[in-house]
Amino acid sequence: MEDGCIVDVRPWRSASGPATDVVDLGRCALLPAFVNAHTHLEYNVFRGRLEDIEFFPWIGALMALKASLTEPDWLASATMGAAEAAAGGTGTIADCTDAGAAAAGAATIGLRGVIHQEVFGIDGKQTVQETVAALDAKLARMAVALQGSLLTPAVSPHAPYTVRPELMSALARYAGDRGLRLCIHASESQAEGELMLRGSGVIARRLAERGIGWETPGATTVAHLARHGLVTNRTLLVHGVQVSRTDARAASQAGASWVHCPKSNAKLGNGVAPLWALRAACPTGNLGLGTDSAASNNGLDMLEEMRFAVLMQRASRRRIDAMDALQALEMATLGGARALGMADQIGTLERGKRADLTAIRLDRLHTAPCYDPASALVYAASARDVALTMVDGRPIWWRGRHAANLAAQRRQFRTAARKVSGAPR
């Protein structure tokens, strides 16, 4: 490795050079650092506080809890989220942030990735111009937080039921003019499909209760987003639980990528995404894996997410060949890198790529004996087995510690958690 770049990959036996350059990590699997393609780092403080609630009341409860936090609370929560990701072998994230705190949190820990500033606006309380001006100001602030980091700013129109069509078109133009990446929660729940196609269901009722007018698009989410310019080769579509084969293909033909979040989809009762259709629609393998947030998961463990992805596909399709360990590993590394347009830099361990890697112990009681590293990683290992996470040649998690000093953020996190514990939801 030189200047954060991989110069050669060789078997351990042939490692040479001065003794100080050789680090024996023991019986570990060495693999590309994970790409967690969908997170909300700043929601770490909500872990365990929003249990067993239906999806739409869950969103409402989340919004209510969010009102209890201040800027320092958000920063502490996002920093703890980034710390958890790094300690679990993740080197790159694609995050969606409302408070904006994920930028500084992820930068503090040393992660690589994309930070999407979320935008909401289903009602007309703010004009499109006002909302776009507010986004512009937030992104300017984010650019300061991201200076000197490996993170780039981007835009997330939250979802088709939280962003009205005219605002979607404006955000598509804004991001297009600046070459910014986009991320949208798409085709996540059955209720979303009912709202889009027929203007009925639980979301429609909630919008009506709030006095918000809704013009039913009479189209699927993907068709609706495409109509407003949001399905591009810079777009990450997250969830895709209710997606048809036609929609999956249309999104892929436009160059968009999908992110699969199996644990969050299951925990919120939204179902199992048709991964076979998404995979078939993405022949270039631009299909990532994401944990979503600690509020709906309840962790950022990519090893567990891979395990869950395989088991859910096999269980729901009753087929052993629905998915295997190597396919899960690819989604969690190279697939995510491709989805983020970063496969030339990361996602595999090979000469010329950035030195983003993780070492995972395979000598523990729950992983030994190890006959096959891929199956040991996907079916037996967990984030707690990660010995090292390196990003751009720099260890950000090693020997049970982060490179960053987190004492002050840990204290603030406890304060934030006390507020969340006492807050109504």
Which residues make up the interface to Zn ion (CB under 5 A)?
292
Q: Smaller CB distance to Zn ion: residue 292 or 301?
A: 292
For Zn ion, the nearest residue by Cβ is 292
Taking the least distance from each CB to Zn ion, the nearer of 41 and 107 is: 41
**Which long-range CB contacts under 8 A does 173-180 form with residues at least 24 apart?**
173/229, 174/132, 174/135, 174/136, 175/234, 176/229, 176/232, 179/234, 180/153, 180/154, 180/155, 180/234
Closest contact distance (angstroms) between CB of 258 and Zn ion is: 13
Q: CB nearer to Zn ion: give 73 or 292.
A: 292
In the bound complex, what is the minimum distance in angstroms from residue 121's beta carbon to Zn ion?
Answer: 17
Q: Which is nearer to Zn ion, 292 or 385 (CB)?
A: 292
Smallest separation, CB 346 to Zn ion (Å): 22
CB-wise, 86 or 159, nearer to Zn ion?
Answer: 159
> In this complex, which beta carbon is closest to Zn ion, that of residue 292 or of residue 304?
292
247/292 with CB nearer Zn ion: 292
Nearest residue (CB) to Zn ion, 84 versus 292: 292
